[in-house]
Structure 1
Amino acid sequence: MNNVHLYAFVAVVEQGSFRAAANFLHKTQSTISAAIASLEQEFEVQLLSRDAYRPELTPEGKVFYQEARITLEKMQGLKALGHQLASGIGPNLALTLSASCVQLQGLVQLQMFVEKHPEMHLSMSTEHLSGVLESLQSGKADIAISPNYGLGQEFEFVEIAKLKLVTVAAPHYLENQTQRIIPQAELKNRPQVLIEDSGSLHPIERLNVIPNGQRWTVNDYMIKQRLIVSGLAWSRLPYHMVEKELKEGSVEMIEVEDFASNVVLPIYLIRLKSNTSAIANSFWDYMIKEPSNKSSRLSV
C-alpha cells in the first residue's frame, strides 16, 4: 500500500465512479482499477461493491475510507510543514477568540507555548457568536477559544475555563424601580444592547433578549460597555469587563424577571476533527496535557 493507492481509493469514493476518479487524478481508468484491486488483495477484504451502477462502499470500506482520508490529510499537512521548514519560514498558528473571552493577562499558557516555539508565526483574531466556528470551517483559524455557539460532530472541544456573565445598568438607569427583581415589562422600552453576530452562514438565534423589546446592536464590546456605563442601555457583559466599574459604582448588577441575569458559561478549546496542522496539534496538546498548565489555564 502506498499513497497512490489511497488517493485512488478516496477519489473513487468521493467522485462516484472509476472514470470520474481517473479524470480527477489525471490517470487512466485501468490505473485506478489496479490501485483499488491492489488494496483489496493486500488486505484480503472487499472495499468497494461493484454490483450497482456506481461503486459503493462495503461496511469494511466505510471504515477504511475514514482512516484513509485522515491519513492523506495528515500527509498533506506534513508535506506543507516540510516546505515551510525548507524555505526557512516557521509554522503558522492561527487562533480565533470569542471577543467575550479576550483577557490577555489570562493567556499565560500561550506565552509559555510561544517561548517554546520561537520560530512560530502567530496570528490571532476575534469573532462574535457564530463567526467563531465559521472561522474554523473556512480555514481562517486552526483553533478557537469560545463558549458553545453551536458545536457539532465535526468539532473536537475541551473545557478550559469559565466565563461569568452579569446583567448590568448604570445606577440611575432604573432609579424609579424599587423591586428587587425587575419585571420584563419595565425594560421593554429601554434599549438592550447586543453584540452583532460576525458570522454570515448560520447566525445564532437570540435567546437572552426581552421579547418584542427595544434592541441596539454593536460590533464591539467596548462600545457596548460604554453605552451601559453612560446610562443609555442595559445588557449582559462578561464580569471581567465591568469588574472595575462595579467596584467604583458606575454600574450595578440587576436581576430581571424570567431572564438569565447572572450565569457562568464553560469556555472551550475548539478545533475541527480534520485539522492537520502540526503546530496547531502541538498547541492543543500543550493546552490540555501540559502538567504545568493545570494552575495557569485561561482565566476569564
Structure 2
Amino acid sequence: MTLEQLKTLVTIADAGGVLAASEILHKTQPTVSVAIRKLEEELGVQILSRDSYRATLTPAGESLCQQARLVLIQSEKFSELAKHLAQGNEPEVRIAIEASCPMPLVLEILSRCEKKFPGTQFNLMGDTLWGALERLESGEADLAISPWFEENPAFETRPLSTSRLITVAAPQFLERFGKEVLDLSDLTESVQVVVRDSSRNPREQSFGFMAEGRHWYVTDHLTKKEILLAGMGWGRLHAHLIEEDLRTGRLVPLVIRNYARVMEIKICVARMREKLVGPVAQALWEDFSNSPPEIWRGPFVL
C-alpha cells in the first residue's frame, strides 16, 4: 500500500468516478483502475463496485476512503514537519505582546530561551487589547501574550498570569468630590481615560467603559497611567503596572456604587492550534507551558 494509491482512492471519491479521477491525476484510466485493483488485492477488500457503467465505492471502500483521508493529512503534516526540522532553527521568532502584560515574567522566559538559541532573533510587537491575538490569527506572529477575553478554538493557550484591573485615580482627583464613595453620576463630567484597541477590527468597549461620560483616548497603558497620576482623570489599570503607586498613595482605588472596583483577568500565551512551528518557537512554548502561573495579590486588602 502506497500513499499514491490512497491519493488515487480519495480522488476517485471526490471526482465521482475513475475517468474523472484519471483526468485530475493526469493518468490514463487503465492506470488508475490497475492501482485500485492492486490495492484491493493487497487488502483483501473490494473497494469499487463495477456492476454499473460508472464504478462507485462500495461501503467498505467508503470506510477505507475516510481513513485514507486521515492518513494523507498526517502524511502532509509529517512532510511539513520534516521540512521545518531540516531547515534548522528559525532566524526569527515573532511574539505579539499586549502592552499590559507583565514584562518581567515574559523577559525571564525569553532570556532562558535566548541563551539556548543565540542565533535566533526575537521580534517583539507591542499591541493593546485585541491587537496581539489578531496578529497571531493573521499569521503576523508565532506566539501571542495577551489578556484572555473569550474562548477561541483556533488558539492553543497556556495560563501565564492572573492580574487585576483596578479602578483608580490620584488622591487630588478624589478630593474634588468631598466624599469617599462615589456614584456613577458624579463622574459624568470627569474624564475617563481609555486605551484604544490596536486591532484592525476594534471590538466594542468593555472593562468598565462608561458610555455617557467624557473620554480621553490613548494608545498605551503607561500614558494612561501618567494622566491618572496627574489627577486629570480616572480609569482601570492592571495592578502590576501600579503596584508602587498604590503602595505610596500616588494612586488610590475608587469606590463607586454599582461599579466593580476590581476585575480579575487571566493572561495567557497563545499559538495557532493547527500551525506547525519551528524548534525555537516550540522550545519557547514549552518554557511558557512549564512556568507556573503567577498571581498578583497587591499591597492592599480588597
Instruction: Tell me if TM exceeds 0.5.
Output: yes
For residue 93 of structure 1, give the secondary structure of its aligned residue in structure 2: strand
1:1-300 equivalence runs, <5 A: 28=26, 65=69, 68-69=72-73, 71-73=75-77, 75-82=79-86, 84-85=87-88, 90-104=90-104, 107-201=107-201, 203-207=202-206, 208-279=208-279, 280-289=281-290, 293-294=291-292
Distance (Å, rounded) in 1 between the aligned partners of 2:138 and 2:7: 23
TM score, norm. by length of structure 1: 0.75
For residue 122 of structure 1, give the secondary structure of its aligned residue in structure 2: strand
Distance (Å, rounded) in 2 between the aligned partners of 1:4 and 1:63: 14
How far apart are 1:282 and its partner, in Å? Answer: 2.3
How far apart are 1:117 and its partner, in Å? Answer: 2.0
- Does structure 2 retain, via aligned residues, the 8 Å contact 1:11–1:21? yes
Deviation digits for residues 93-118 of structure 1 (CA, Å, limit 9, x no counterpart): 22111111042365322211221222
Greater C-alpha Rg: 2
Cα distance change on mapping 1:105 and 1:160 into 2, 3 Å: closer
Cα distance change on mapping 1:37 and 1:198 into 2, 3 Å: farther
Distance (Å, rounded) in 2 between the aligned partners of 1:139 and 1:252: 40
Query: Once superposed, what is the RMSD of the aligned Cα atoms?
Result: 3.9
Cα distance change on mapping 1:39 and 1:96 into 2, 3 Å: farther
Deviation digits for residues 214-239 of structure 1 (CA, Å, limit 9, x no counterpart): 22221112211111111222111111
Question: What residue ranges of structure 1 are gaps of 5+ in the alignment?
Answer: none
Aligned residues between the structures? 280
How far apart are 1:252 and its partner, in Å? Answer: 1.3
- Does structure 1 retain, via aligned residues, the 8 Å contact 2:95–2:141? yes
Distance (Å, rounded) in 1 between the aligned partners of 2:287 and 2:222: 31
Distance (Å, rounded) in 1 between the aligned partners of 2:97 and 2:27: 47
How far apart are 1:281 and its partner, in Å? Answer: 2.1
- Does structure 2 retain, via aligned residues, the 8 Å contact 1:74–1:276? no
- Does structure 2 retain, via aligned residues, the 8 Å contact 1:108–1:298? no
Match of 2:51 in 1: none
Cα distance change on mapping 1:265 and 1:6 into 2, 3 Å: farther
For residue 153 of structure 2, give the secondary structure of its aligned residue in structure 1: coil
Q: Which amino acid aligns with 1:252?
A: V
Distance (Å, rounded) in 2 between the aligned partners of 1:37 and 1:286: 48
- Does structure 2 retain, via aligned residues, the 8 Å contact 1:162–1:265? yes
Match of 2:50 in 1: none
Cα distance change on mapping 1:193 and 1:35 into 2, 3 Å: farther
- Does structure 2 retain, via aligned residues, the 8 Å contact 1:167–1:235? yes
Question: What residue ranges of structure 2 are gaps of 5+ in the alignment?
Answer: 48-54, 297-302
Q: Which amino acid aligns with 1:204?
A: R
For residue 165 of structure 2, give the secondary structure of its aligned residue in structure 1: strand
Q: Which amino acid aligns with 2:175?
A: E
Cα distance change on mapping 1:255 and 1:80 into 2, 3 Å: same
How far apart are 1:33 and its partner, in Å? Answer: 6.3
For residue 114 of structure 1, give the secondary structure of its aligned residue in structure 2: helix
Match of 2:300 in 1: none
Deviation digits for residues 143-200 of structure 1 (CA, Å, limit 9, x no counterpart): 1111113331111112121112211111111313344432111112212111111111
For residue 269 of structure 1, give the secondary structure of its aligned residue in structure 2: strand
Q: Which amino acid aligns with 1:206?
A: Q
Q: Which deviates more, 63-72 or 239-248?
A: 63-72
